[in-house]
Amino acid sequence: MTTASTGNRPRTVRWLLRLHRPALYGWAALVVVLAGVLLAVRGPLTDAAAEGWRQYNACQGEDTACSYDQDAILRYKDWSGYATFAVTALPFLVAGWAGGALTGRELETGTAWLGWTQSTSPARWLAVRLAVPAAVVTAGAAVTVWLHHLAWSAGQGRVDTAKEWYDRFVFHANGPSTVALALAGLAAGALCGLLLRRTLPALLLGVVVTAVVRLAAEFALPHLWPAVTRLAGTDQVANGSGITVDEGYVTRSGAHVPLSHCAWDRPCADVVARFHTYQPRSHYWPLQLTTSALILAVAALLVAACFLVLRRRTGATHTAQAPAVPTGAAV
């Protein structure tokens, strides 16, 4: 590696930060606002809701009218829901920005080609545009996920309407799978920008691809760790709360059949028990880590695809062979 190429790296990073300064400020502001909301949920909102539920439970069984702080209970429910939704939406914001601004707009306006003619190879250009935002996104998403876990934990056992750990939004907002999905969204958006080279289509497609990754991860989630099975009588519900993998009936032959096997027009003479296969709370971290690893593997594949597409579009990565700036492009 030459001294010139080594010296170009800090300049490329500075240029990237300057070019996307509004997005950097916007991300920092979003993290600060979310942090404030989550701290409020963890502290005064949870305390007020817990007191409201204490008052409500104390009223049970009394004949006389009894008042309780319903507004505090509803306020906690609303703001904790807003915060959870916002945290789980972060990967989609990252994907939209990566597709629309990070690569799509730079290729559409010719800014990328301008950089390739100034001693920055396409491969280094892309590496910087993935590495620097990845560090910023990881730091911001990790902080919000950690604060969300603290806020959610504060309501457990104190607020009766607090969401369970296996809620589809709470599960991801509480752990590293959201950080992993944000990185996958960054790679997906960058890839869409490289493929489409237009701002709005790349933005939309990046969000769609990230949504597909999220749905695939949720589909695979219950099956990523050995589950627990509980049995009960045919007229009972098998115990166990968590992420349901499967449930139904057990026949005399030992086969597991779905709940639809028994209906009012189909007697269940061959059924001897009811089963429930699920992931208990003790499996939370194994599920989080395996899900995060799966999403990060997808992110790695998307990053590899980014470099492959860039190489096919630009040919050799030497700056002297970089494509010319398109006619009418902004320079």
Q: Judge contact between 115 and 125, C-beta under 8 A.
A: yes
Tell whether the torsion through CA atoms of 315, 317, 319 and 323 is positive or negative: positive
Other CB atoms within 10 A of residue 282 CB: 9
* pLDDT band at 266; cut points 50, 70, 90: low
Q: How large is the angle between the packed helices 46-59 and 70-97, nearest 10 degrees?
A: 140
Task: Give Cβ neighbours of residue 89 (< 8 Å, ≥ 6 apart).
Answer: none
Q: Judge contact between 35 and 28, C-beta under 8 A.
A: no
Least confident of 55-69, 91-105, 279-293: 55-69
pLDDT at 188: 96
- Percent pLDDT > 90 in the chain is 53
pLDDT at 317: 42
* pLDDT band at 263; cut points 50, 70, 90: low
Query: Pick the residue with more confidence: 29 or 123?
Result: 29
Alpha-carbon distance of 144 to 33, in angstroms, equals 10
Tell whether the torsion through CA atoms of 278, 281, 285 and 291 is positive or negative: positive
Q: Judge contact between 112 and 106, C-beta under 8 A.
A: yes
> Which pLDDT tens digit goes with each residue over 199-256?
899 999 999 999 999 999 999 999 999 999 888 776 666 677 889 898 888 888 778 8
Query: Pick the residue with more confidence: 238 or 103?
Result: 103
| Torsion on CA atoms 310, 314, 319, 320, rounded to nearest 10 | 170
Alpha-carbon distance of 238 to 229, in angstroms, equals 9
Other CB atoms within 10 A of residue 62 CB: 8
Asked whether residue 63 carries a pLDDT value surpassing 80, the answer given is no
